[in-house]
Structure 1
């Protein structure tokens, strides 16, 4: 069995730019591309397989018709979505619901996500959490637009990692590129959007009532138990093991040998270049390459000088 390589799916955004071209070499449809949905079966942007016996098929179709590729996992929906985001401008400050709220109100799963900072301009910041002590105080601070008091800002740099569970107020700042691993959901509640208007002069919709409903209060302090396992000059860094996904960094300096530890594995090259070797066959890897290693691939090897962010379905998926 071959790895499944993905065609990128680009999403134009009011805050997007062209760094997915200048850094990753992608051919973009405009100068305002904010996202590459790198591995996705979500109906708002479905990946197409670009190689092998399933070339030209959509990932959602593969999930429905060839469950053996994914270890016969349960569920109607492929559970993960991997994106590369280029924030040429500030994203809205937002929050996502959990599964129970989203299924009841939106008809899809909630959205827990995490971010690996691919690159960031000096001094770039994210909004990560809030300072309200009660839901009543949260509502009051939002209604009074006391943004500087409410939002918690964090300066970031290349290589940082953040866990963003549902209920976390967050916003990606200008000059940041991230690899996002998330539940397969596109439900976002905007708290604040910097009073921006679109090209027609219309303000984008805010979702104040929903945001107050779903925000975790007081904000939860997330602590990561990051583990590194070295293999010569290369290493595997474990960032997260959650009910939704497990996320790793593969740091390749020469050779990195890996074995299957989940029904399937997703990976994206965020830096450098190299080769993926599966059952004696070699596949070239360049920045932005995204692929799935299906269930019947037991082991593989990555060679070169590269960083990849990999993920697997979590224990409850």
Structure 2
């Protein structure tokens, strides 16, 4: 079976789907976004209706769902018939809603689908940009805080800068603020319970629906520390494990020439501003800045050439 690195073209969420989005995905990252209110570039996605497509090699034009019957476990490294992760870039012209995601146990029993944990790597942020990362109810129940109108004052806000990393396990109350561009790796689930939407009114004159009871059932109070990691020296550069979740791991690689990557797991490799090149067997594929390639689990030895940082998320 001829497996090879799959360079992906993203799908986009825009317009009414992401009323908080802007135009930085096009201006900063060169994405062919469809309009000036584009919030998400789904770089690696098998979500129905938002599937990214292969742009290189024998399977150019195919989606990841198209490749399941052909590659199966050779692609994902898993026995299950499904794509486990979703990778996207986000641009926030306005704040996202305050939200929370259920864990697998709650989601499977109440929604019939997996839950969602995720992580953010901040790529760019306006001066003073903030996000919501946890909630402090001061010992009271979250329902009491809501009933007394004290939700906004109980949210834990933190200023962000490029290079900051945040781990958002299921149950964490969170929201990206305005003026942030970030990389997000998550379980391949679209389950979101909206706790608060800042009183926004949509173009239809109505507020977006909230999911109070579900959010109360799955939310956890408390504040998590920012994620850091110790760099590991490797031939050709350094690797830092930034986030380790039961479903995925997120690494930053700092490349200085040529580095051989570990194999055996599906990996998403995202080039940052300088781009890079993938080399395997007798082949070479250039990744432009901010392109992502899916490295199948069954791919033989693969190396990366270039200089500067790139990001890798792996399926666990």
TM range (shorter): over 0.9
Determine which of 84, 89, 98 is the counterpart of 1:93: 98
Determine which of 287, 297, 304 is the counterpart of 2:306: 304
Greater than 6 Å deviation, 4+ residue runs: none
* Aligned match of 2:150: 146
Residue 220 of structure 1: how far off its partner (Å): 5.6
User: Residue 237 of structure 1: SS of its match in structure 2?
Assistant: strand
* Aligned match of 2:270: 268
What is the TM-score with the length of structure 2 in the denominator? 0.92
8 Å contact from structure 1 (residues 129, 152) kept in 2: yes
Distance 1:209 1:116 in 2: 30
Determine which of 277, 289, 292 is the counterpart of 1:290: 292
User: Residue 200 of structure 1: SS of its match in structure 2?
Assistant: coil
Determine which of 195, 200, 214 is the counterpart of 2:199: 195
5 Å-filtered alignment, 1:1-317, equals 1-12=3-14, 13-70=18-75, 72-133=77-138, 137-216=141-220, 218-219=221-222, 221-222=224-225, 224=227, 226-231=229-234, 234-260=237-263, 262-314=264-316
8 Å contact from structure 2 (residues 278, 284) kept in 1: yes
| Cα-Cα RMSD | 1.9
8 Å contact from structure 2 (residues 251, 311) kept in 1: yes
Show CA shifts across 1:58-102 (max 9, x none). 102312442142265122321111010111111111000011111
Show CA shifts across 1:21-74 (max 9, x none). 101111221100000110011224112111222222210231244214226512
Show CA shifts across 1:88-126 (max 9, x none). 111111000011111222221100000000111111111
User: Residue 154 of structure 1: SS of its match in structure 2?
Assistant: strand
8 Å contact from structure 1 (residues 234, 254) kept in 2: yes
Residue 299 of structure 1: how far off its partner (Å): 2.2
Distance 1:172 1:47 in 2: 23
Q: Which one is further off, 246-255 or 157-166?
A: 246-255
Distance 1:70 1:28 in 2: 28
What is the TM-score with the length of structure 1 in the denominator? 0.92
Residues paired across the two proteins, number: 311
8 Å contact from structure 2 (residues 166, 226) kept in 1: no
